[in-house]
Structure 1
Amino acid sequence: MKVPHLLSFSIILAGLGCLVTCGQSVAAEATATTPARPNILWLTSEDNGPELGCYGDTYADTPHIDNLASRSLRYRMCWSNAPVCAPARTTLISGMYATSLGGQHMRSAVALPEGMKLYPHVLREAGYYCTNHTKTDYNFRPADSKAGWHDSGKTAHWKNRPDPSMPFFSVFNYTISHESKIRNKPHTLVHDPAKAVLPVYHPDTPEVRRDWAQYYDRLTEMDKMVGAAIAELNDAGLADSTIIFYYGDHGSGMPRSKRWPFNSGLQVPLVVHIPDAYRDLAPADYLPGGVSDRLVSFVDFAPTAISLAGAEPPANMQGVPFMGKYAGQAKKHLFGYRGRMDERIDMVRSCTDGRFVYMRHFYPDRPYLKHVDYMFQTPTTRIWKELYEAGQLTDAQAKFWQIKPTEELFDLQSDPDEVDNVASLPEHEEKLAELREATQQWMRSTRDLGLLTEAEMHRRSATVAPRTLGLSDQFDVDALVDAAWAAGDAWQACDGQTIVAMQELCQSEDPGVRYWGCRGLALGLGSHGTVLSEDEISAATGTLMEKLEDANPSVRLAACDLLIRLNDEGAQRAAAEELMNLADLPRGGYYVGIAALNVIDYNRNAVLRHSGRGFDSIRKDREDEPSRGNDYIERLLITLGQPQS
């Protein structure tokens, strides 16, 4: 009777042994067939921040991305560095801050230093098949915009690699969530506008609610595309050998998010999935369904991709890999920047520690939301401005059509919409000083080319790349940072000592420093002229009148910026004539023309009265107009032909 039991037990043991050895052989086979290096897939959506279910947004309907996040690592705070597409993509593709390349201005078409490698070049050298579907939109001249992809366009796909065993790096970009899609009609709303949660800075009107609802509809459509891309990967049997990144390319396309380096314009969703076979490449805090508090930004993406591929990032890249073989230390701060946005001149730098956001405004005398033609095609923008002009907005809503303080500090914990500037509160004095110093030192260490006007940067880099200029002795970054900072401080407080300091800057041999000296005089008199003595005002005005004869057009323009506003017929007449010359003469250059037309637009009545010329006499053609055919001069001339609000 015992024999059958022993036989059965032997059979069971043999079966278990077979299961173990079979399991071992299956595991061995899986290990043998898993590629040594992972494929890398980047899924990118346009113009959307973290308005997703996995980020706690209950109004959102994004099941595919939420599912990805449930088995991946979600980053709580990721910044795009720039709040608009071209400068943000410039940062992504280069692994460098766009401000270090001169590419922070919208569609600025800058040259790259000879021999500089963008991340597709490095990945190709590492043996990866690199594709981009489809958007490039880098702020590079055409010769540099190919970026090193094996294929970039509507047919680019990882499936096209010549050898199925070849690892791939592929980008798929989804434009359905772009700003332009918010205003596309006809559109049948799916999300209920009545349930949309509006930021406190937007007025509560049917137009605004519809735009937000349509934005969320587009996110749902985008989510389906992300789901389809992941399904395609699964169907090809590549899910276990592919690292997936999903991220947005900057904040939402709604006004005061896109184009503005608040957290609302810079924070993007970032979800990273790393298959089990490559967990040695994952960061220490990687946990499926987990959340990372590590601060990351677009400047880190290129070196991270290269690190995941097992290659060492080039020394010129300024980002820090946050995973892979060459992962580095976490950052204490992230940085953002705003340069010229289409036809409007501006300069803002921002910094966050993950909770507080610091902003430094270098043109505080101009309003936050200027008339950018493309932005005004969104119904929310138009109704928001109409209600401002009618005096029907709250203080929080009206703020963004007005001029600015030099610096702001926002606490995202208590003020996620960033409307309450707490920079002056004693309890935040230490944090303000920390982020101010971090921003200033970052501008120095990265050699921020925004310290030169766009026209001056192009003038100095006529025969070299702007980055090469920035690293040369022709670019005294410390003197420029000090001058730009002092000019901004003049807007907050100005006395006779400040006037003297700005006059000294105006005598510098460096036209970049002279520019900021003139800006400082303009800001000081514009903000505090009533508390200055007649002698101090006269001295400042005399210096600016002298600068109308400066050899540098940007310096002359900075002098005009105040002189056209003075209650002095002679000063206004001289400034008006110079402004019209700077806007009109082809030798003034394309970027000088844009800057001059900006000043003219803010003072159009005075310019018309004192110049004796109409705006229709301004020639819009420029000898050095970028080959990309930008129409920003034309846009400004159209604006000048409309009634001034």
Structure 2
Amino acid sequence: MRLQTHVRPAVSGVLLACALALGGWNSAYAQKRPNILWLTSEDNGPALGAYGDDYATTPNLDRLAERGQLYLNAWSNAPVCAPARTAIITGVYPPSTGGQHMRSQVRLPDGMPMFPQLLRAVGYYTTNNAKEDYNVEKPGQVWDDSSSEAHWRNRPEGAPFFAVFNFGISHESRIRQRPHEPVHNPAGVRVPAYHPDTPEVRRDWAQYYDRITEMDVQVGERLAELEEAGLVEDTIVVYFGDHGVGLPRGKRSLLDSGLRVPLIIHVPRRFRALAGEDYAEGTETAHLAGFVDLAPTMLSLAGIRPPEYMHGSAMLGPFRASPPEYLHGFRGRMDERYDFSRGVRNQRYLYVRNYAPHRIYGQFVWYMFQTPTTQVWNALNDAGRLEPPQTFFWETKPAEELYDLERDPDEVANLASSPEHQATLQRFRGVLRDHLLSIRDLGFLSEPEMHLRAGGGAPYDLGQDERRYPLSEILEVAEIATRPSISAGRELTAALGHSDSAVRYWGAVGLLIRGASAVEGALFELRRALGDGSTSVQVAAAEALGRYGAIEEDVEAAVAVLVARANLDTNDLFTTMLALNALDYLDERAAGVVDLLRELPREREGMRRQFQRYVPQLLDKILADLE
């Protein structure tokens, strides 16, 4: 049987040329190509019996692990769905493409297809049932079918398939769905050290495990379909969750609790040569694996050499590479709330660098606050009824975090200031810096600034252009700005006069982070920055003056700038959101503009559906606090 090398009309010849140029079809597969079945679940960590969790009830996934290989150290590169899925579909870290923010939509550069397009180009029938949720625009037709009806059964006769089935039953929204009668006894829950032990928290955790059991049943149904069709020996099965548990300090958190996921891969005997020498049924591997590795792995299994632009490396197939020594994670805007952190882990330690240490971990994200655990946890903190480490989620972040994952699996003992861990800390600092520069991380531009500089083009192309994005220079100032322990008032004040607006932005942010004394020492420069040519610089300077200015006229001028920039009729969406985030932190200092805030527009014609709720949610929160 010869390989089909024709291109379907919906797939461009460019994609076929790309697939063939990347290695084409390995001759070893000329007779038979493996089918690939992906089973993905939402918002769950490795809470499976196969991972040693005695509280879990997951017989189908446990059986899959018995005839496959279980990855102990698999990471989603982002702790929330859309950025995580963006890493999966491209094989590229989203901060490199500009797709790091939740529910953003950015263009991919020319020549960077989504990996199912490369599979289609060499004859695979590709289906997705049904969630996509990418932060990047699709560059043409990606799937043969992406719908609730998509199924490998619909493939042309003789065609291999790559089929995805996504299970939403374990999603955050289903953990809090009521009424629900718990099946798992809440009394049996192991409440992690960072959560308060309350009936509401136990109930949410128990329901989480109930939903995982329901998900496991759905997995079993899909595996049974494969068996009934006689395709078990022809199909590689991959199961994974898309990020950590859908509870606060799990999902959205740049910690193992938000990033570690289950990953089980079964390679049937006829394709066992693709799995590598260390693969055996019913085994575990400690190899590190990240979501950026999934795309190159699928291409390798199909005999296609992964493109050099992909940041991940193949875990299986003829192009498999050595496992990485480190995994990398990121956190950007979470729905309506801006934040900025980057993380690195190896087999033992997790390092987190927080570039917004003036923001608390548990910022008010409307969607997260619909969960009973969030509500009761926040209420207990407000009432002063918590002790560390349960208070940490409601406190501002340190610039750096370092956790020993072997000794501290709940990640509550920050070792960043530990004298005996300084060598480890320094090593991780260097690894992170090298990574940021290597992938050309676009997170050091505010979201509105990134889009402005991209000019309607692909942010990735912007990031690769040192002239338009002098990352090394910007990073140097951002590192100083976000380490409040460094006395750098003079350097930050000088940065406000820099020719690059991103440097000026980090100068203003650094003064904001340091509070009243730093703001007092840079009044002239901050006042001038209220009229800066960059709206992002204006917003950062206005928050600094608005929160910490000691002169009433300065506060009034700062608030006026923020209200002006929060007007959706005269600003882009991301500037509006940036300004509203800042206004929310002014508290009573913004009380005099309540009427103006009530009159601000909440929507704009033509706005993407996924963005429509963000401005109203921010305004509602600000007004509720002020009123």
What TM-score comes out, normalization by structure 2 length? Answer: 0.93
CA distance in 2: counterparts of 1:612 and 1:98, whole angstroms: 37
CA distance in 2: counterparts of 1:33 and 1:353, whole angstroms: 35
Secondary structure of 1:315's counterpart equals coil
Secondary structure of 1:345's counterpart equals coil
Q: What is the match of residue 564 of structure 2?
A: 581
Q: What is the match of residue 492 of structure 2?
A: 502
Q: State which drifts further: 626-635 or 392-401.
A: 626-635
Matches within 5 A, 1:336-375: 336-375=329-368
Secondary structure of 1:269's counterpart equals strand
Larger radius of gyration between Structure 1 and Structure 2: 1
Q: Within the alignment, does 1:108 sit opposite 2:98 as a pair? A: no
Q: What is the match of residue 19 of structure 2?
A: none
Q: What is the match of residue 569 of structure 1?
A: 552
Matches within 5 A, 1:260-299: 260-299=253-292
Deviation at 1:104, TM superposition (A): 0.9
Q: What is the match of residue 84 of structure 2?
A: 88
Deviation at 1:628, TM superposition (A): 4.3
| CA RMSD, Structure 1 to Structure 2 (Å) | 1.8
Q: Within the alignment, does 1:554 sit opposite 2:540 as a pair? A: no
Cα 1:269–1:147 change in 2 (3 A) is farther
Cα 1:488–1:623 change in 2 (3 A) is farther
Q: What is the match of residue 186 of structure 1?
A: 179
Deviation at 1:517, TM superposition (A): 1.0
- Residues 589 and 623, structure 1, Cα contact 8 Å, conserved in 2: no
- Residues 519 and 544, structure 2, Cα contact 8 Å, conserved in 1: no
Matches within 5 A, 1:378-527: 378-472=371-465, 473-489=467-483, 491-494=484-487, 498-525=488-515
The alignment covers a number of residue pairs equal to 598
Q: What amino acid is aligned across from residue 510 of structure 1 in structure 2?
A: D
Secondary structure of 2:136's counterpart equals coil
Cα 1:147–1:50 change in 2 (3 A) is farther
Cα 1:466–1:147 change in 2 (3 A) is farther
Deviations 1:277-301 (A, max 9, x none): 1111113321111111111100010
Cα 1:411–1:634 change in 2 (3 A) is same
Q: What is the match of residue 21 of structure 2?
A: none
Deviation at 1:549, TM superposition (A): 1.5
Cα 1:154–1:35 change in 2 (3 A) is farther
What TM-score comes out, normalization by structure 1 length? Answer: 0.90
Q: Within the alignment, does 1:608 sit opposite 2:591 as a pair? A: yes
Q: Which of these residues, 315, 325, 331, is aligned with residue 322 of structure 1?
A: 315
CA distance in 2: counterparts of 1:597 and 1:153, whole angstroms: 36
Deviation at 1:229, TM superposition (A): 0.9
Q: What amino acid is aligned across from residue 600 of structure 1 in structure 2?
A: L
Deviation at 1:644, TM superposition (A): 5.6
- Residues 453 and 462, structure 2, Cα contact 8 Å, conserved in 1: yes
Q: What is the match of residue 155 of structure 1?
A: 149
Deviation at 1:539, TM superposition (A): 3.5
Q: What amino acid is aligned across from residue 517 of structure 1 in structure 2?
A: G
Cα 1:170–1:404 change in 2 (3 A) is same
- Residues 591 and 626, structure 2, Cα contact 8 Å, conserved in 1: no
Percent of pairs identical after alignment? 46
Deviations 1:347-377 (A, max 9, x none): 0101101211111111111110011111111
- Residues 103 and 139, structure 1, Cα contact 8 Å, conserved in 2: yes
CA distance in 2: counterparts of 1:364 and 1:508, whole angstroms: 23
- Residues 80 and 88, structure 1, Cα contact 8 Å, conserved in 2: yes
Q: What is the match of residue 612 of structure 2?
A: 630
Secondary structure of 2:515's counterpart equals helix
Q: What amino acid is aligned across from residue 105 of structure 1 in structure 2?
A: H
Deviations 1:196-236 (A, max 9, x none): 00111111111111100000000001011111111110111
Deviation at 1:488, TM superposition (A): 1.0
CA distance in 2: counterparts of 1:582 and 1:72, whole angstroms: 54
Cα 1:74–1:585 change in 2 (3 A) is closer
Cα 1:35–1:45 change in 2 (3 A) is farther
Q: What amino acid is aligned across from residue 591 of structure 1 in structure 2?
A: F
- Residues 96 and 442, structure 2, Cα contact 8 Å, conserved in 1: yes
- Residues 442 and 463, structure 2, Cα contact 8 Å, conserved in 1: yes
Q: What amino acid is aligned across from residue 597 of structure 1 in structure 2?
A: L
Cα 1:241–1:394 change in 2 (3 A) is same
Q: What is the match of residue 596 of structure 1?
A: 579
Deviation at 1:257, TM superposition (A): 0.5
CA distance in 1: counterparts of 2:606 and 2:320, whole angstroms: 43
CA distance in 2: counterparts of 1:621 and 1:246, whole angstroms: 40
Q: What amino acid is aligned across from residue 511 of structure 1 in structure 2?
A: S
Cα 1:574–1:409 change in 2 (3 A) is same
Q: Within the alignment, does 1:241 sit opposite 2:234 as a pair? A: yes
5+ residue gaps, structure 1, are 1-31, 530-535
Q: What amino acid is aligned across from residue 162 of structure 1 in structure 2?
A: P
Deviations 1:390-432 (A, max 9, x none): 1111211111111111111111111111111111011111111
Deviation at 1:637, TM superposition (A): 1.0
Deviation at 1:537, TM superposition (A): 5.5
Matches within 5 A, 1:103-252: 103-141=99-137, 144=139, 148-163=142-157, 165-252=158-245
Q: What is the match of residue 525 of structure 2?
A: 543
Deviation at 1:314, TM superposition (A): 1.8
Q: What is the match of residue 40 of structure 1?
A: 36
Deviation at 1:613, TM superposition (A): 4.6
Deviation at 1:313, TM superposition (A): 1.3
Q: If each structure's helix is expressed as a fraction of its own residues, which one has the higher value?
A: 1
- Residues 134 and 156, structure 1, Cα contact 8 Å, conserved in 2: yes
